[in-house]
Amino acid sequence: MTLVASDGGHLAALGQTVPRESGYHVAQLLVNAHLGAEAETETLASLLGALAQAAGQRQTTRLYARVERDAAANEAFALAGFSPYKYESVYWLPHPLAEKPESNLPVRPQESKDAWGIYQLYCSVTPRVVQQAEDTDASYWEIPSTSAGRALQNVGEDRWILEVDNCILGYVRTSRLSRRLSLMIHPGGYPYARRLIGFALDNLRPPYAIRCSLPEYQGGLEEALGQLGFQYVGTQAALVRQIAGAVRAENRAIRHVLEPTRGPVHTASGH
């Protein structure tokens, strides 16, 4: 879904949201480079409010976003009713792994029976305030239907389970299309972390140019990422807005468009 804000017939800002498993997410936020700082904040806040209203019309109760921790757009998100619920350290792997991963790990592909065990792992490592914001249950980790599963295979998504003594201690998810690595590991599984991550990356071709966003409460995994060659590039805030009631009318005209509008715009926040 794409909305634009116009002011005096000129493009002022553009925002896009996309549906994901957990709800709608702000995927892109652009603003006219010629706006002053105050007008930019006001315009972005109005646009974010309109995006939240449109998302609410699609039967969702939350709108999510990720923004660089010190980005100028943070003020606009706050004015639009967003609040941070966690912070993530962002890492980047620029080159292939220097070592060959070990093969004698208690690791296997995710199976349909694992959803509840992964959810229990999530509850054990994730602070309550984050759980409330993300509002997920065991179904979030279920393996998709056959047709959807084939689609995931086509884009190179893999899900791996670290299981020790019949207990799930780790969950790793990789995507060849988005070049992303997602980690969720219990402290009891930290001794396996470096080898587990290396194993997952070795199955992601090519095994470099990969991004990993590590929640601050999983900070014990930073050492394993560093040993494998990941480089820290910054910190981002995960934001959420609860959607309830109507959004107040805005002075600026805001309308749906089918395609992003071309024009003098610049990125207001990082995602």
- Look at residue 90 and tell me if it is in a domain: no
Q: Distance (Å, rounded) from C-alpha 143 to C-alpha 193?
A: 23
Shared-domain flag, residues 9 and 78: yes
Domain that holds residue 159: 96-228
Shared-domain flag, residues 59 and 168: no
- Look at residue 133 and tell me if it is in a domain: yes
Does residue 264 or residue 108 have the better pLDDT? 108
Identify the pLDDT of residue 33: 84
Domain count of the chain?
2
Q: Distance (Å, rounded) from C-alpha 193 to C-alpha 170?
A: 8
Shared-domain flag, residues 253 and 210: no
Shared-domain flag, residues 213 and 141: yes
Identify the pLDDT of residue 254: 52
Smallest CA-to-CA distance from 166 within 244, 113, 232 is with 113
Residue pLDDT, tens place only, 212-230: 999 999 999 999 999 999 9
Of 185-194, 238-247, 260-269, where does mean pLDDT reach its minimum?
Answer: 260-269
Residue 151 clears pLDDT 60, i.e. is over it: no
For 206, list phi and psi in degrees, rounded to 5: -75, 150
Identify the pLDDT of residue 248: 45
Q: What's 221's domain CATH number? A: 3.40.630.30
Average of pLDDT values for 121-131? Answer: 97
Identify the pLDDT of residue 196: 94
Q: What's 11's domain CATH number? A: 3.40.630
Residue pLDDT, tens place only, 30-79: 888 888 888 899 999 999 999 999 988 888 889 999 999 888 889 999 99
- Look at residue 79 and tell me if it is in a domain: yes
Average pLDDT of the chain is 85
